[in-house]
Amino acid sequence: MDAATGLDSLFAFDNTYARLPDAFFARLAPPPAAAPQLVIVNEQLAQQLGLDPRLLASPGGIGVLSGKVLPYGAEPLAMVYAGHQFGHFVPQLGDGRAILLGEVIGRDGLRRDVQLKGCGPTPFSRRGDGRAALGPVLREYIISEAMAALGIPTTRSLAAVLTGEEVLREMPLPGAILTRVASSHIRVGTFQFFAARGDVDGVRRLADYVIARHYPEVGRAANRYRAMLDCVIERQARLIAQWMLLGFIHGVMNTDNMAISGETIDYGPCAFMDTYEPATVFSSIDRMGRYAYNNQPSIAHWNLARLAETLIPLLGSDKEEGLIEARAAIDAYPSKYEAAYLAGVRRKLGLLQERPDDLALAQDLLDRMAANKADFTLTFRQLCDAAVSVEVDAEVRRLFDAPAAFDGWAVKWRHRLASEGGNAVERRTSMRAVNPAYIPRNHRVEEAITAAVDEGRTSIFETLVQVTTAPFDDQPGSERYAEPPQSHQIVHQTFCGT
């Protein structure tokens, strides 16, 4: 390592996962990319993590981001996990195309994993090549950064590089590596890996690690494993509520794609809805609609039950007691989810007070939107202005196939707003802080990816990232990014591209 370039101090790694027993991972150095080339460095995130963005973008930094140079302090490893994939249990999965370099402590004092995704095969690659194509890498970059800006807990994207190699999918495609940053990469499936082997010590070791890293507040609870489970359930309930409130569809909610930290993880065929249709499925591999938009809350419940099962031996003094604790924890999920959803939907509608029929009011709007193919994001965004001026109703009604469908609801809504009083301008401001103007719409994501992959042009990608990472701002000149697709632009299917 050349000290003169400053690379030695690029990451101040402080690794803890690498201290866990060997059964938790496989150590290996990332295979070097042939001819790496930088696509993007996330300067803001780099700064948040205490990293020098210029150094990251330097030839030495690009070497690190592409696996060519192992940075000082890295202890590269691939994590092992298991998981239910579309309901079927697979006892061993693991990082098949990702290598954890190590952990850094950000300026905010929080510990985060730094991982190279798409850098080549690992012992867990099974039949895969361990690589990633540029398209899915850009897709994850765009969507994860937009999610973060929308205030949704998520893994982040620190950088993307081209490897200079081709990966073979249906056709040869440019290979790329995403540098992913996460609170941790521990999944429901990580617990399942040890539980499936009857390795109670492994489960306990993992749970203790998770408590120390993610839920230190439960450390002293009488039943600390139950307290940890409650915390994970709470975070997941809130996460899924946020997805639902913003029209996000994950697409592959397998238990190995559910993070214990409560962050959104593993962006594959995910997408935001344009028109509000609760049964929407984009993923080409989700033929039964298991992970449809409106199934997400109950799928999360199911996944969390799988997590609870792994903890049964730790939850009580015997199996029966453990089962009772597990069940009680899991049974609390629906009310946690509903509370998070209801609080969020109140903010979306500008309801300052809590009233018993709030959910019915929201559902009535959603039903009318569904029946009239209204654009999800635009309807709520324009509602912010309608809260101040009835004249804006014209804009909202236009989004409904039968505009009168909005009118019937608007009367009830206004009646409710009037009855609780409050300042209309303040209401608009608070509504605008939760109802985005800009989401990474599928047709824009496709457009950005196509230009980058087919023509090597990344300017559309960069613009899209810029626009969607300020989702709540009016951005004069960027209006077309707020618009729904025209009929010929609609993207009906998304692919994980692995």
**Residues labelled catalytic:** 256
**Does 145 contact Mg ion by CB under 5 A?**
no
Among Mg ion, ligand AMP, none, the one that 403 touches (CB under a kind-dependent 5 to 8 A) is none
Nearer to ligand AMP, 342 or 496 (CB): 496
SS3 content of the chain, % helix, strand, coil (to 5): 50, 15, 35
Supply the minimum distance, in Å, between the C-beta of residue 309 and ligand AMP: 20
> Which part of the chain contacts Mg ion (CB under 5 A), choosing from 145-153, 261-269, 333-341, 485-493?
261-269
Q: Which residue has the tokens 């239910």?
A: 84
Q: Name the nearest CA neighbour of 109 among 206, 183, 9.
A: 183
**Looking at 266, 274, 286, 393, which residue binds Mg ion (CB under 5 A)?**
266
Q: What distances in angstroms separate CA 384 from CA 321, 345, 402, 433, 436, one per listed residue?
A: 50, 13, 21, 10, 10
Supply the minimum distance, in Å, between the C-beta of residue 93 and ligand AMP: 4
Note whether 34 and 68 are within 8 A (CB).
no
Supply the minimum distance, in Å, between the C-beta of residue 261 and Mg ion: 15
Supply the minimum distance, in Å, between the C-beta of residue 46 and Mg ion: 25
Among Mg ion, ligand AMP, none, the one that 498 touches (CB under a kind-dependent 5 to 8 A) is ligand AMP
Contacts to ligand AMP by CB under 6 A: 93-97, 125, 128-131, 252, 257, 266, 268, 496, 498
- Mention every residue, 6+ apart, whose C-beta is less than 8 A from residue 389: none
Nearer to ligand AMP, 240 or 329 (CB): 240
Distance CA 79, CA 96 (A): 9
Distance CA 351, CA 35 (A): 55
Nearer to Mg ion, 48 or 498 (CB): 498
Give burial (CB, 10 Å; 0-12/13-18/19+) of 132: buried
- Mention every residue, 6+ apart, whose C-beta is less than 8 A from residue 30: 67, 70, 76, 99, 101, 116, 119, 120
Residue nearest to ligand AMP (CB): 128
Supply the minimum distance, in Å, between the C-beta of residue 61 and ligand AMP: 25
Nearer to ligand AMP, 94 or 484 (CB): 94
Nearer to Mg ion, 257 or 469 (CB): 257
**Does 113 contact Mg ion by CB under 5 A?**
no
- Mention every residue, 6+ apart, whose C-beta is less than 8 A from residue 8: 1, 72
Q: Residues touching Mg ion: how many (CB under 5 A)? A: 2
Contact positions vs Mg ion (CB under 5 A): 257, 266
